[in-house]
Structure 1
Amino acid sequence: MSKPKHILSAAVVVLNKENEILLLKSPKRDWEIPGGRVEKRESIRSGAIRETKEETGIDIEIIKYCGAYQNVQRSICSHLFLGKPIGGTFTTSEESLEIGYFPIEKALEMVKWSNYRDRILDCLNNEKHPFLIEF
Structure 2
Amino acid sequence: MVVNEEGDILLVKNPNRGWEFPGGYVDKEETLQHAATREVREESGIEIQVTDLVGVEQISSKRLNVFVFKGRPISGELSLSNETWDVGYFTRGESLSKIKLERYKERLLRCMDEQNTPFLLES
Q: CA deviation at 1:117?
A: 1.3
- TM norm structure 1: 0.84
Report the Cα distance in structure 2 between the residues aligned to 1:121 and 1:73, rounded to whole angstroms. 23
Report the Cα distance in structure 1 between the residues aligned to 2:16 and 2:71, rounded to whole angstroms. 24
Say how many residue pairs are matched: 119
**Any idea what SS the aligned residue of 2:110 has?**
helix
Q: CA deviation at 1:83?
A: 0.8
Aligned positions of 1:81-92 closer than 5 A: 81-92=69-80
Per the alignment, residue 10 of structure 1 pairs with: none
Quote the RMSD (CA, aligned, Å). 1.1
Indicate conservation of the 8 Å contact 1:81/1:123, yes or no.
Answer: no
Per the alignment, residue 114 of structure 2 pairs with: 126
Match of 2:98 among 95, 99, 110: 110
Tell me, which stretches of 5 or more residues in structure 2 are unaligned?
none
Amino acid paired to 2:87: I
Normalized per residue, which structure has more strand? 1
Tell me, which stretches of 5 or more residues in structure 1 are unaligned?
1-12
- TM norm structure 2: 0.92
Indicate conservation of the 8 Å contact 1:23/1:101, yes or no.
Answer: yes
Amino-acid identity (%): 38
Task: Confirm or deny that 1:35 pairs with 2:23.
Answer: yes
> Which 4+ runs in 1 deviate beyond 6 A?
none
Aligned positions of 1:1-135 closer than 5 A: 13-130=1-118
Report the Cα distance in structure 1 between the residues aligned to 2:115 and 2:38, rounded to whole angstroms. 28
